[in-house]
A and B are shown apart, each in its own frame.
Chain A
Amino acid sequence: MIHARDLARTFKTKAGSVEAVRGLSLDVAEGELVAFLGPNGAGKSTALRMLTTLLPPSSGSASVGGHDVVSDPAAVRRQIGYVGQGTGSGPYHRVRDELVSQGRAQRMSTMAARKRADEMLGMLELDGLADRPCASLSGGQKRRLDVALGLMHTPPILFLDEPSTGLDPHSRANLWDHIARLREASGMTIFLTTHYLDEADTMAERVMVIDHGVMIADDTPARLKADLAGDTIHIRLLCNDQLSHAAEIARNLPDAREATAQGRDLAVTLRDGEAVLPEFIRRLHQSGIEAMSARVVRPTLDDVFLGLTGRSLREAVSA
Protein backbone atom coordinates (compact mmCIF):
# COMPACT_ATOMS: atom_id res chain seq x y z
CA MET A 1 0.00 0.00 0.00
CA ILE A 2 2.82 2.41 0.86
CA HIS A 3 6.26 2.22 -0.72
CA ALA A 4 9.07 4.72 -0.52
CA ARG A 5 12.55 4.56 -2.03
CA ASP A 6 15.38 6.88 -0.95
CA LEU A 7 12.93 9.62 -0.08
CA ALA A 8 14.72 12.82 0.92
CA ARG A 9 13.76 16.38 1.70
CA THR A 10 16.06 19.31 2.24
CA PHE A 11 14.82 22.64 3.57
CA LYS A 12 16.66 25.84 2.85
CA THR A 13 16.91 28.09 5.87
CA LYS A 14 18.90 31.23 6.60
CA ALA A 15 21.45 29.13 8.47
CA GLY A 16 21.97 26.87 5.44
CA SER A 17 20.18 23.78 4.21
CA VAL A 18 18.68 21.28 6.63
CA GLU A 19 18.27 17.66 5.61
CA ALA A 20 15.01 16.81 7.35
CA VAL A 21 14.66 13.37 5.75
CA ARG A 22 17.69 11.57 4.33
CA GLY A 23 17.12 8.57 2.10
CA LEU A 24 14.08 6.92 3.61
CA SER A 25 12.89 3.59 2.20
CA LEU A 26 9.92 1.73 3.57
CA ASP A 27 7.13 -0.68 2.65
CA VAL A 28 3.78 -1.02 4.35
CA ALA A 29 1.43 -3.83 3.34
CA GLU A 30 -2.35 -3.62 3.12
CA GLY A 31 -4.06 -3.64 6.53
CA GLU A 32 -0.92 -2.96 8.57
CA LEU A 33 -0.82 -0.50 11.45
CA VAL A 34 2.60 1.11 11.43
CA ALA A 35 3.99 3.80 13.72
CA PHE A 36 6.82 6.19 13.03
CA LEU A 37 8.51 6.72 16.37
CA GLY A 38 11.10 9.38 17.01
CA PRO A 39 11.82 12.59 18.88
CA ASN A 40 10.60 15.99 17.70
CA GLY A 41 12.53 17.11 14.65
CA ALA A 42 13.43 13.56 13.65
CA GLY A 43 11.74 14.00 10.28
CA LYS A 44 8.53 12.06 11.00
CA SER A 45 6.12 14.76 9.90
CA THR A 46 8.22 15.74 6.90
CA ALA A 47 8.19 12.12 5.73
CA LEU A 48 4.46 11.87 6.33
CA ARG A 49 3.82 15.10 4.43
CA MET A 50 5.73 13.73 1.45
CA LEU A 51 3.73 10.48 1.52
CA THR A 52 0.48 12.48 1.64
CA THR A 53 1.49 14.73 -1.33
CA LEU A 54 1.55 17.86 0.83
CA LEU A 55 5.27 18.32 0.34
CA PRO A 56 7.21 17.48 -2.83
CA PRO A 57 10.29 15.32 -2.13
CA SER A 58 13.71 16.77 -2.96
CA SER A 59 14.70 13.35 -4.30
CA GLY A 60 13.58 9.74 -4.23
CA SER A 61 10.16 8.34 -4.99
CA ALA A 62 7.08 7.09 -3.18
CA SER A 63 3.82 5.44 -4.13
CA VAL A 64 0.72 5.31 -1.98
CA GLY A 65 -2.30 3.15 -2.81
CA GLY A 66 -0.69 2.28 -6.15
CA HIS A 67 -0.15 5.88 -7.30
CA ASP A 68 2.99 7.95 -7.47
CA VAL A 69 2.94 10.90 -5.05
CA VAL A 70 4.71 13.21 -7.50
CA SER A 71 3.20 12.32 -10.88
CA ASP A 72 -0.36 11.61 -9.75
CA PRO A 73 -1.00 13.39 -6.43
CA ALA A 74 -4.77 13.70 -7.01
CA ALA A 75 -5.14 9.91 -7.24
CA VAL A 76 -3.15 9.48 -4.01
CA ARG A 77 -5.36 12.05 -2.26
CA ARG A 78 -8.49 10.09 -3.16
CA GLN A 79 -6.99 6.97 -1.54
CA ILE A 80 -5.99 8.51 1.75
CA GLY A 81 -7.48 10.06 4.81
CA TYR A 82 -5.15 12.59 6.39
CA VAL A 83 -5.32 13.72 9.99
CA GLY A 84 -2.66 16.39 10.41
CA GLN A 85 -0.99 17.64 13.56
CA GLY A 86 -3.23 20.68 13.79
CA THR A 87 -6.99 21.06 13.99
CA GLY A 88 -8.58 20.14 10.69
CA SER A 89 -11.93 21.80 11.26
CA GLY A 90 -12.45 25.51 10.69
CA PRO A 91 -13.32 27.36 13.92
CA TYR A 92 -16.38 29.21 12.58
CA HIS A 93 -17.78 26.33 10.58
CA ARG A 94 -20.36 23.95 11.95
CA VAL A 95 -19.45 20.35 12.66
CA ARG A 96 -21.84 18.73 10.18
CA ASP A 97 -21.10 21.33 7.47
CA GLU A 98 -17.39 20.56 7.72
CA LEU A 99 -18.02 16.84 7.39
CA VAL A 100 -20.26 17.34 4.37
CA SER A 101 -17.87 19.72 2.58
CA GLN A 102 -15.02 17.27 3.28
CA GLY A 103 -17.09 14.49 1.70
CA ARG A 104 -17.85 16.73 -1.29
CA ALA A 105 -14.15 17.61 -1.58
CA GLN A 106 -13.49 13.86 -1.72
CA ARG A 107 -15.87 13.54 -4.66
CA MET A 108 -18.89 12.16 -2.80
CA SER A 109 -22.37 13.25 -3.85
CA THR A 110 -24.09 15.69 -1.49
CA MET A 111 -26.60 13.01 -0.48
CA ALA A 112 -23.95 10.40 0.21
CA ALA A 113 -21.88 12.96 2.12
CA ARG A 114 -24.83 13.95 4.33
CA LYS A 115 -25.62 10.32 5.10
CA ARG A 116 -22.00 9.48 5.83
CA ALA A 117 -21.63 12.62 8.00
CA ASP A 118 -24.44 11.47 10.28
CA GLU A 119 -22.88 8.01 10.39
CA MET A 120 -19.49 9.44 11.38
CA LEU A 121 -21.06 11.68 14.03
CA GLY A 122 -22.50 8.56 15.63
CA MET A 123 -19.38 6.44 15.25
CA LEU A 124 -17.12 9.02 16.88
CA GLU A 125 -19.57 10.00 19.63
CA LEU A 126 -20.15 13.46 18.26
CA ASP A 127 -23.94 13.25 18.15
CA GLY A 128 -25.57 16.38 19.41
CA LEU A 129 -22.64 18.52 18.28
CA ALA A 130 -23.62 18.60 14.60
CA ASP A 131 -24.84 22.20 14.59
CA ARG A 132 -22.20 23.61 16.91
CA PRO A 133 -19.35 25.76 15.58
CA CYS A 134 -16.18 23.64 15.65
CA ALA A 135 -14.37 26.16 17.88
CA SER A 136 -16.76 25.30 20.73
CA LEU A 137 -15.68 21.64 20.88
CA SER A 138 -13.35 20.27 23.56
CA GLY A 139 -9.85 19.09 22.64
CA GLY A 140 -10.88 15.44 22.55
CA GLN A 141 -14.01 16.18 20.52
CA LYS A 142 -12.02 18.24 18.01
CA ARG A 143 -9.59 15.39 17.55
CA ARG A 144 -12.38 12.87 17.05
CA LEU A 145 -13.86 15.26 14.49
CA ASP A 146 -10.48 15.35 12.72
CA VAL A 147 -10.56 11.56 12.49
CA ALA A 148 -14.16 11.68 11.26
CA LEU A 149 -13.11 14.21 8.58
CA GLY A 150 -10.26 11.95 7.50
CA LEU A 151 -12.56 8.93 7.24
CA MET A 152 -15.51 10.60 5.47
CA HIS A 153 -14.80 8.96 2.11
CA THR A 154 -13.89 5.55 3.68
CA PRO A 155 -10.28 5.68 2.47
CA PRO A 156 -8.28 2.43 2.36
CA ILE A 157 -5.31 4.24 3.96
CA LEU A 158 -5.35 6.56 6.96
CA PHE A 159 -2.43 8.82 7.89
CA LEU A 160 -2.36 10.22 11.42
CA ASP A 161 0.24 12.81 12.40
CA GLU A 162 0.68 12.80 16.18
CA PRO A 163 -3.01 12.03 16.66
CA SER A 164 -3.11 12.20 20.44
CA THR A 165 -0.59 14.94 21.23
CA GLY A 166 -2.02 17.43 23.69
CA LEU A 167 -4.89 15.21 24.79
CA ASP A 168 -5.42 14.16 28.38
CA PRO A 169 -4.94 10.41 29.08
CA HIS A 170 -8.65 9.71 29.11
CA SER A 171 -9.25 11.39 25.73
CA ARG A 172 -6.22 9.61 24.30
CA ALA A 173 -7.51 6.21 25.34
CA ASN A 174 -10.96 7.10 24.03
CA LEU A 175 -9.55 8.23 20.66
CA TRP A 176 -7.59 5.01 20.33
CA ASP A 177 -10.66 2.92 21.19
CA HIS A 178 -12.44 4.54 18.29
CA ILE A 179 -9.56 4.17 15.84
CA ALA A 180 -9.10 0.51 16.78
CA ARG A 181 -12.80 -0.19 16.34
CA LEU A 182 -13.00 1.61 12.99
CA ARG A 183 -9.98 -0.28 11.80
CA GLU A 184 -11.42 -3.62 12.84
CA ALA A 185 -14.58 -2.84 10.89
CA SER A 186 -12.83 -1.65 7.72
CA GLY A 187 -9.42 -3.33 7.64
CA MET A 188 -7.79 -0.09 6.53
CA THR A 189 -4.06 0.50 6.54
CA ILE A 190 -2.98 2.98 9.20
CA PHE A 191 0.26 4.91 9.25
CA LEU A 192 0.88 7.20 12.20
CA THR A 193 3.62 9.23 13.78
CA THR A 194 4.03 9.53 17.50
CA HIS A 195 6.52 10.42 20.15
CA TYR A 196 4.51 8.61 22.79
CA LEU A 197 6.31 5.36 23.52
CA ASP A 198 3.35 3.63 25.10
CA GLU A 199 1.18 4.56 22.14
CA ALA A 200 3.55 3.03 19.60
CA ASP A 201 4.00 0.06 21.92
CA THR A 202 0.37 -0.82 22.50
CA MET A 203 -1.22 0.32 19.23
CA ALA A 204 1.24 -0.35 16.43
CA GLU A 205 1.92 -3.74 14.94
CA ARG A 206 5.16 -2.45 13.49
CA VAL A 207 7.34 0.38 14.68
CA MET A 208 9.78 2.30 12.52
CA VAL A 209 12.23 4.21 14.65
CA ILE A 210 13.42 7.39 12.94
CA ASP A 211 16.15 9.73 14.11
CA HIS A 212 17.89 12.60 12.29
CA GLY A 213 15.90 11.84 9.14
CA VAL A 214 17.05 8.22 8.90
CA MET A 215 15.21 5.02 9.79
CA ILE A 216 17.29 3.18 12.36
CA ALA A 217 15.00 0.22 13.15
CA ASP A 218 11.88 -1.39 11.71
CA ASP A 219 10.17 -4.32 13.42
CA THR A 220 7.34 -5.37 15.73
CA PRO A 221 7.53 -3.70 19.15
CA ALA A 222 8.08 -7.12 20.77
CA ARG A 223 11.03 -8.03 18.56
CA LEU A 224 12.55 -4.56 18.79
CA LYS A 225 12.49 -4.81 22.54
CA ALA A 226 13.81 -8.36 22.62
CA ASP A 227 16.59 -7.72 20.10
CA LEU A 228 17.63 -4.20 20.95
CA ALA A 229 16.92 -3.90 24.66
CA GLY A 230 16.03 -7.26 26.25
CA ASP A 231 14.49 -8.15 29.62
CA THR A 232 16.23 -7.54 32.89
CA ILE A 233 16.02 -10.07 35.76
CA HIS A 234 16.49 -8.52 39.18
CA ILE A 235 17.39 -10.92 42.00
CA ARG A 236 17.87 -10.13 45.67
CA LEU A 237 20.08 -12.63 47.43
CA LEU A 238 19.80 -13.84 51.03
CA CYS A 239 23.50 -13.30 51.73
CA ASN A 240 25.65 -10.63 50.05
CA ASP A 241 28.90 -12.68 50.21
CA GLN A 242 27.64 -14.92 47.42
CA LEU A 243 27.12 -12.05 45.00
CA SER A 244 30.18 -12.51 42.77
CA HIS A 245 29.49 -16.23 42.41
CA ALA A 246 25.87 -15.48 41.52
CA ALA A 247 26.94 -12.87 38.97
CA GLU A 248 29.13 -15.47 37.29
CA ILE A 249 26.20 -17.89 37.05
CA ALA A 250 24.12 -15.04 35.58
CA ARG A 251 26.69 -14.33 32.89
CA ASN A 252 26.56 -17.98 31.81
CA LEU A 253 22.80 -17.96 31.30
CA PRO A 254 21.60 -18.41 27.70
CA ASP A 255 21.64 -15.08 25.81
CA ALA A 256 22.87 -13.16 28.85
CA ARG A 257 24.27 -9.77 27.81
CA GLU A 258 25.27 -7.94 30.87
CA ALA A 259 25.17 -8.52 34.63
CA THR A 260 25.61 -5.91 37.33
CA ALA A 261 25.87 -6.54 41.03
CA GLN A 262 25.47 -4.20 43.96
CA GLY A 263 24.98 -5.04 47.63
CA ARG A 264 22.66 -8.03 47.64
CA ASP A 265 21.10 -7.11 44.30
CA LEU A 266 21.92 -8.64 40.99
CA ALA A 267 20.62 -7.53 37.60
CA VAL A 268 21.11 -9.43 34.37
CA THR A 269 19.90 -8.39 30.93
CA LEU A 270 18.94 -11.11 28.47
CA ARG A 271 16.57 -11.87 25.64
CA ASP A 272 13.68 -13.68 27.31
CA GLY A 273 13.61 -13.11 31.06
CA GLU A 274 10.48 -15.05 31.94
CA ALA A 275 11.67 -18.22 30.25
CA VAL A 276 15.13 -18.09 31.83
CA LEU A 277 14.13 -17.08 35.38
CA PRO A 278 13.24 -20.61 36.68
CA GLU A 279 16.47 -22.03 35.29
CA PHE A 280 18.45 -19.16 36.82
CA ILE A 281 16.97 -19.76 40.27
CA ARG A 282 17.55 -23.53 39.95
CA ARG A 283 21.23 -23.00 39.08
CA LEU A 284 21.65 -20.59 41.98
CA HIS A 285 20.05 -23.14 44.29
CA GLN A 286 22.37 -25.90 43.03
CA SER A 287 25.32 -23.71 44.00
CA GLY A 288 23.84 -23.13 47.44
CA ILE A 289 22.72 -19.58 46.76
CA GLU A 290 19.19 -18.63 47.86
CA ALA A 291 17.14 -15.87 46.26
CA MET A 292 14.91 -13.72 48.46
CA SER A 293 12.98 -12.12 45.63
CA ALA A 294 13.00 -12.12 41.86
CA ARG A 295 11.34 -9.99 39.21
CA VAL A 296 11.53 -9.55 35.46
CA VAL A 297 11.43 -6.02 34.05
CA ARG A 298 10.24 -5.76 30.47
CA PRO A 299 11.93 -3.14 28.35
CA THR A 300 10.13 -0.16 26.88
CA LEU A 301 10.63 1.33 23.46
CA ASP A 302 12.61 4.01 25.25
CA ASP A 303 15.17 1.35 26.09
CA VAL A 304 15.18 0.43 22.41
CA PHE A 305 15.78 4.06 21.44
CA LEU A 306 18.47 4.37 24.09
CA GLY A 307 20.12 1.19 22.79
CA LEU A 308 20.02 2.50 19.22
CA THR A 309 21.09 6.10 19.71
CA GLY A 310 22.62 6.32 23.16
CA ARG A 311 20.00 8.95 24.00
CA SER A 312 16.75 8.58 25.86
CA LEU A 313 13.69 9.39 23.80
CA ARG A 314 12.29 11.28 26.78
CA GLU A 315 15.31 13.59 26.88
CA ALA A 316 15.16 13.99 23.12
CA VAL A 317 11.49 14.94 23.32
CA SER A 318 11.92 17.54 26.02
CA ALA A 319 15.05 18.93 24.41
Chain B
Amino acid sequence: MTFFSDTTISFRREIGPTLRSWYYILFGLVQPLLYLALFVPLLGNVPGPDGASPLQWFVPGMVVMLVLFTTVSCGWSLTEELMSGSFERLLATPMSRPAIMVGRALKELAPLLVQALILIIVATPFGLVLHPLPMLLGLAMLMLFGVGVASLSYALAIASKHDGSLFYLVSHSVALPMMLLGGVLLPMTNAPGWLYVASRFNPLTYLVEAERALFSGDLASLPVLSGVLVAALVAALGLTVGVSQIRKASL
Protein backbone atom coordinates (compact mmCIF):
# COMPACT_ATOMS: atom_id res chain seq x y z
CA MET B 1 0.00 0.00 0.00
CA THR B 2 1.79 3.09 -1.22
CA PHE B 3 -0.56 5.32 0.78
CA PHE B 4 0.56 3.89 4.09
CA SER B 5 4.26 3.69 3.24
CA ASP B 6 4.15 7.24 1.86
CA THR B 7 2.38 8.42 5.01
CA THR B 8 5.18 6.84 7.03
CA ILE B 9 7.83 8.52 4.85
CA SER B 10 6.13 11.90 5.22
CA PHE B 11 5.63 11.43 8.98
CA ARG B 12 9.23 10.38 9.53
CA ARG B 13 10.56 13.33 7.60
CA GLU B 14 8.48 15.80 9.62
CA ILE B 15 8.87 14.26 13.06
CA GLY B 16 12.71 14.49 13.02
CA PRO B 17 12.95 18.21 13.82
CA THR B 18 10.06 17.89 16.34
CA LEU B 19 11.85 15.16 18.27
CA ARG B 20 15.01 17.26 18.36
CA SER B 21 13.07 20.12 19.95
CA TRP B 22 11.02 17.93 22.32
CA TYR B 23 10.99 20.67 24.97
CA TYR B 24 8.39 22.51 22.85
CA ILE B 25 6.07 19.57 23.46
CA LEU B 26 6.42 20.10 27.21
CA PHE B 27 6.04 23.84 26.76
CA GLY B 28 2.76 23.22 24.92
CA LEU B 29 1.46 21.69 28.16
CA VAL B 30 1.73 24.92 30.11
CA GLN B 31 -1.59 26.31 28.92
CA PRO B 32 -3.80 23.27 29.61
CA LEU B 33 -2.10 22.78 32.98
CA LEU B 34 -2.83 26.41 33.86
CA TYR B 35 -6.49 25.80 33.03
CA LEU B 36 -6.45 22.75 35.27
CA ALA B 37 -4.82 24.64 38.14
CA LEU B 38 -6.56 28.01 37.89
CA PHE B 39 -9.91 27.29 36.20
CA VAL B 40 -11.01 23.87 37.42
CA PRO B 41 -11.24 25.02 41.10
CA LEU B 42 -14.02 27.40 39.98
CA LEU B 43 -16.00 24.41 38.79
CA GLY B 44 -16.53 23.01 42.26
CA ASN B 45 -20.28 23.58 42.08
CA VAL B 46 -20.66 22.28 38.52
CA PRO B 47 -20.28 18.56 39.15
CA GLY B 48 -20.34 15.98 36.41
CA PRO B 49 -23.01 13.30 35.92
CA ASP B 50 -23.62 11.18 39.03
CA GLY B 51 -21.72 13.70 41.10
CA ALA B 52 -18.37 12.82 39.51
CA SER B 53 -15.46 15.23 39.70
CA PRO B 54 -15.73 18.18 37.27
CA LEU B 55 -12.39 16.96 35.88
CA GLN B 56 -14.28 14.07 34.30
CA TRP B 57 -15.94 16.44 31.83
CA PHE B 58 -13.38 19.24 31.84
CA VAL B 59 -10.31 17.21 30.79
CA PRO B 60 -11.91 15.79 27.63
CA GLY B 61 -12.99 19.32 26.64
CA MET B 62 -9.46 20.52 27.25
CA VAL B 63 -8.03 17.77 25.03
CA VAL B 64 -10.43 18.66 22.22
CA MET B 65 -9.41 22.32 22.51
CA LEU B 66 -5.73 21.37 22.39
CA VAL B 67 -6.25 19.39 19.19
CA LEU B 68 -8.43 22.05 17.58
CA PHE B 69 -6.09 24.97 18.17
CA THR B 70 -2.91 23.15 17.25
CA THR B 71 -4.26 21.65 14.04
CA VAL B 72 -6.09 24.80 12.94
CA SER B 73 -2.85 26.77 12.90
CA CYS B 74 -0.50 24.05 11.62
CA GLY B 75 -0.90 25.19 8.01
CA TRP B 76 1.38 28.02 8.99
CA SER B 77 4.33 25.59 9.08
CA LEU B 78 3.57 24.69 5.49
CA THR B 79 3.73 28.31 4.39
CA GLU B 80 7.45 28.42 5.03
CA GLU B 81 8.05 25.31 2.94
CA LEU B 82 5.71 26.57 0.23
CA MET B 83 7.79 29.69 -0.12
CA SER B 84 11.20 28.08 0.13
CA GLY B 85 10.57 25.35 -2.42
CA SER B 86 10.98 22.25 -0.28
CA PHE B 87 7.29 21.38 -0.54
CA GLU B 88 7.55 21.67 -4.31
CA ARG B 89 10.47 19.25 -4.23
CA LEU B 90 8.24 16.63 -2.58
CA LEU B 91 5.48 17.28 -5.10
CA ALA B 92 7.92 16.43 -7.90
CA THR B 93 8.29 12.91 -6.45
CA PRO B 94 5.78 10.09 -7.04
CA MET B 95 4.55 10.31 -3.42
CA SER B 96 0.80 10.06 -2.87
CA ARG B 97 -0.54 13.56 -2.23
CA PRO B 98 -3.04 12.60 0.50
CA ALA B 99 -0.20 10.67 2.19
CA ILE B 100 2.01 13.78 2.20
CA MET B 101 -0.79 15.62 4.03
CA VAL B 102 -1.70 12.85 6.44
CA GLY B 103 1.96 12.28 7.36
CA ARG B 104 2.35 15.98 8.09
CA ALA B 105 -0.87 16.07 10.10
CA LEU B 106 0.16 13.05 12.15
CA LYS B 107 3.41 14.79 12.99
CA GLU B 108 1.34 17.63 14.52
CA LEU B 109 -0.88 15.12 16.32
CA ALA B 110 1.83 12.91 17.83
CA PRO B 111 2.97 15.56 20.36
CA LEU B 112 -0.69 16.26 21.17
CA LEU B 113 -1.17 12.61 22.01
CA VAL B 114 1.75 12.83 24.42
CA GLN B 115 0.33 16.03 25.91
CA ALA B 116 -3.13 14.50 26.32
CA LEU B 117 -1.69 11.46 28.08
CA ILE B 118 0.32 13.66 30.45
CA LEU B 119 -2.79 15.74 31.12
CA ILE B 120 -4.76 12.61 31.99
CA ILE B 121 -2.00 11.33 34.27
CA VAL B 122 -1.68 14.69 36.04
CA ALA B 123 -5.45 14.95 36.57
CA THR B 124 -5.87 11.42 37.96
CA PRO B 125 -4.67 12.12 41.53
CA PHE B 126 -7.09 15.06 41.68
CA GLY B 127 -10.15 12.95 41.00
CA LEU B 128 -10.18 11.96 37.31
CA VAL B 129 -11.39 8.36 37.11
CA LEU B 130 -9.52 6.34 34.47
CA HIS B 131 -11.39 4.33 31.82
CA PRO B 132 -8.37 3.26 29.74
CA LEU B 133 -10.02 1.68 26.70
CA PRO B 134 -12.78 4.28 26.10
CA MET B 135 -10.27 7.09 26.74
CA LEU B 136 -7.84 5.68 24.16
CA LEU B 137 -10.69 5.35 21.71
CA GLY B 138 -11.55 8.97 22.42
CA LEU B 139 -8.01 10.01 21.60
CA ALA B 140 -8.08 7.94 18.39
CA MET B 141 -11.29 9.69 17.35
CA LEU B 142 -9.62 13.05 18.01
CA MET B 143 -6.65 12.04 15.83
CA LEU B 144 -9.06 11.34 12.98
CA PHE B 145 -10.70 14.74 13.51
CA GLY B 146 -7.26 16.37 13.77
CA VAL B 147 -6.13 14.95 10.42
CA GLY B 148 -9.18 16.60 8.86
CA VAL B 149 -8.69 19.98 10.52
CA ALA B 150 -4.95 19.96 9.76
CA SER B 151 -5.64 19.20 6.08
CA LEU B 152 -8.12 22.09 5.96
CA SER B 153 -5.46 24.26 7.54
CA TYR B 154 -2.92 23.21 4.87
CA ALA B 155 -5.51 23.96 2.20
CA LEU B 156 -6.05 27.40 3.72
CA ALA B 157 -2.29 28.02 3.78
CA ILE B 158 -2.06 27.21 0.06
CA ALA B 159 -5.17 29.25 -0.75
CA SER B 160 -4.03 32.32 1.18
CA LYS B 161 -0.94 32.42 -1.09
CA HIS B 162 1.76 32.94 1.50
CA ASP B 163 -0.23 35.71 3.18
CA GLY B 164 0.41 34.98 6.85
CA SER B 165 -2.02 37.52 8.30
CA LEU B 166 -4.83 36.34 6.05
CA PHE B 167 -4.18 32.79 7.18
CA TYR B 168 -4.21 33.83 10.84
CA LEU B 169 -7.35 35.92 10.44
CA VAL B 170 -9.36 33.17 8.77
CA SER B 171 -8.15 30.28 10.91
CA HIS B 172 -8.75 32.05 14.20
CA SER B 173 -12.09 33.54 13.27
CA VAL B 174 -13.19 29.97 12.63
CA ALA B 175 -11.55 28.29 15.61
CA LEU B 176 -12.59 30.62 18.42
CA PRO B 177 -16.37 30.62 17.82
CA MET B 178 -16.17 26.87 17.21
CA MET B 179 -14.51 26.42 20.57
CA LEU B 180 -16.95 28.65 22.47
CA LEU B 181 -20.00 27.19 20.72
CA GLY B 182 -18.74 23.66 21.27
CA GLY B 183 -19.10 23.86 25.02
CA VAL B 184 -15.44 23.12 25.53
CA LEU B 185 -15.07 25.12 28.74
CA LEU B 186 -18.59 24.68 30.15
CA PRO B 187 -21.28 22.21 29.07
CA MET B 188 -23.94 23.61 26.74
CA THR B 189 -26.70 22.05 28.83
CA ASN B 190 -26.66 25.20 31.00
CA ALA B 191 -26.87 27.50 27.96
CA PRO B 192 -29.89 29.72 27.14
CA GLY B 193 -32.11 28.28 24.42
CA TRP B 194 -30.74 30.21 21.43
CA LEU B 195 -27.14 29.40 22.31
CA TYR B 196 -27.98 25.74 22.74
CA VAL B 197 -29.66 25.65 19.31
CA ALA B 198 -26.66 27.37 17.72
CA SER B 199 -24.30 24.84 19.33
CA ARG B 200 -26.19 21.98 17.62
CA PHE B 201 -24.94 23.33 14.27
CA ASN B 202 -21.34 23.16 15.39
CA PRO B 203 -19.59 19.88 14.51
CA LEU B 204 -17.24 20.37 17.44
CA THR B 205 -20.20 20.05 19.87
CA TYR B 206 -20.72 16.42 18.86
CA LEU B 207 -17.03 15.70 19.19
CA VAL B 208 -16.87 17.22 22.68
CA GLU B 209 -19.97 15.29 23.77
CA ALA B 210 -18.55 12.03 22.43
CA GLU B 211 -15.22 12.70 24.11
CA ARG B 212 -16.99 13.38 27.44
CA ALA B 213 -19.04 10.20 27.12
CA LEU B 214 -15.89 8.19 26.43
CA PHE B 215 -14.00 9.79 29.33
CA SER B 216 -16.86 8.66 31.62
CA GLY B 217 -16.41 5.13 30.29
CA ASP B 218 -19.59 5.28 28.23
CA LEU B 219 -18.66 3.31 25.11
CA ALA B 220 -21.86 2.33 23.32
CA SER B 221 -23.94 5.49 23.20
CA LEU B 222 -25.47 7.83 20.68
CA PRO B 223 -23.07 10.75 21.43
CA VAL B 224 -20.07 8.46 20.75
CA LEU B 225 -21.54 7.31 17.44
CA SER B 226 -22.29 10.90 16.36
CA GLY B 227 -18.80 12.00 17.43
CA VAL B 228 -17.05 9.28 15.43
CA LEU B 229 -19.23 10.08 12.42
CA VAL B 230 -18.42 13.80 12.64
CA ALA B 231 -14.70 13.05 13.00
CA ALA B 232 -14.77 10.79 9.94
CA LEU B 233 -16.70 13.40 7.95
CA VAL B 234 -14.26 16.16 8.87
CA ALA B 235 -11.32 13.91 7.93
CA ALA B 236 -12.86 13.04 4.56
CA LEU B 237 -13.75 16.66 3.83
CA GLY B 238 -10.32 17.90 4.92
CA LEU B 239 -8.42 15.44 2.78
CA THR B 240 -10.60 16.11 -0.27
CA VAL B 241 -10.22 19.87 -0.01
CA GLY B 242 -6.53 19.61 0.90
CA VAL B 243 -5.62 17.37 -2.02
CA SER B 244 -7.57 19.47 -4.50
CA GLN B 245 -5.76 22.57 -3.22
CA ILE B 246 -2.39 20.87 -3.72
CA ARG B 247 -3.37 19.95 -7.27
CA LYS B 248 -4.59 23.46 -7.99
CA ALA B 249 -1.64 25.15 -6.35
CA SER B 250 0.15 27.05 -9.10
CA LEU B 251 2.72 28.25 -6.64
Contact = CB atoms under 8 A, between A and B. Distances in A.
Interface in A28-74: 52-56, 74
B81 A90 contact: yes
Interface in B82-98: 83-86, 88-95
A128 B217 CA distance: 54
Nearest to A12: B250
Contacts of A195: none
Nearest to B100: A105
Interface in A79-124: 80, 82, 84-94, 97-98, 101-102, 104-107
Contacts of B247: 56
Given A94-B16, A97-B13, A80 B85 contact: no
Nearest to B21: A92
A105 B84 contact: no
Contacts of B9: 101, 104-105
A93 B12 contact: no
B89 A102 contact: yes
**Of B9, B92, B251, most A-chain CB atoms within 10 Å:** B92
A141 to B, nearest CB: 15
A105 B9 CA distance: 7
A233 to B, nearest CB: 46
B17 interface: yes
Interface string B102-127: 00000000000000000000000000
Contacts of B85: 84-88
A91 B80 contact: yes
A98 B86 CA distance: 10
A54 B13 contact: no
B12 A80 contact: no
Interface residues of B, number: 24
Nearest to B20: A92
Contact of B89 (A74, A75, A82, A91): A82
B13 A93 contact: yes
A86 B250 contact: no
Contacts of A11: 250
A53 B173 CA distance: 35
Contacts of A97: 13, 16
Interface of A: 11, 52-56, 74-75, 77-78, 80, 82, 84-94, 97-98, 101-102, 104-107, 133, 146, 149
A86 B89 CA distance: 9
Contacts of A93: 13, 16-17
16 contacts: A54-B91, A77-B93, A82-B92, A84-B88, A86-B83, A86-B86, A87-B84, A87-B86, A89-B86, A90-B81, A90-B84, A93-B16, A102-B89, A102-B93, A105-B9, A146-B89
A168 B12 CA distance: 34
A45 B93 CA distance: 18
Interface in B12-40: 12-13, 16-17, 20
Nearest to A46: B250
A56 B88 CA distance: 14
Interface string B127-157: 0000000000000000000000000000000
A247 B70 CA distance: 78
Given A80-B92, A89-B86, A101-B13, 13 more contacts: A54-B88, A54-B91, A56-B247, A84-B88, A87-B85, A90-B81, A97-B13, A101-B9, A101-B12, A105-B6, A105-B90, A105-B94, A106-B93
B154 to A, nearest CB: 15
B92 A53 contact: yes
**Of A90, A104, A146, most B-chain CB atoms within 10 Å:** A90
A90 B84 CA distance: 8
A92 B21 CA distance: 10
A11 B94 CA distance: 25
Contacts of A102: 89, 93
A247 B85 CA distance: 56
Contacts of A92: 17, 20
A87 to B, nearest CB: 5
A149 B93 CA distance: 11
**Of B9, B88, B93, most A-chain CB atoms within 10 Å:** B93
A105 B93 CA distance: 6
Contacts of B20: 92
Contacts of A82: 89, 92
Nearest to B82: A86
Contacts of B93: 77, 102, 105-106
A151 to B, nearest CB: 12
Nearest to A94: B16
A57 to B, nearest CB: 11
A232 to B, nearest CB: 41
Contact of B86 (A55, A88, A104, A107): A88
Contacts of A74: 94
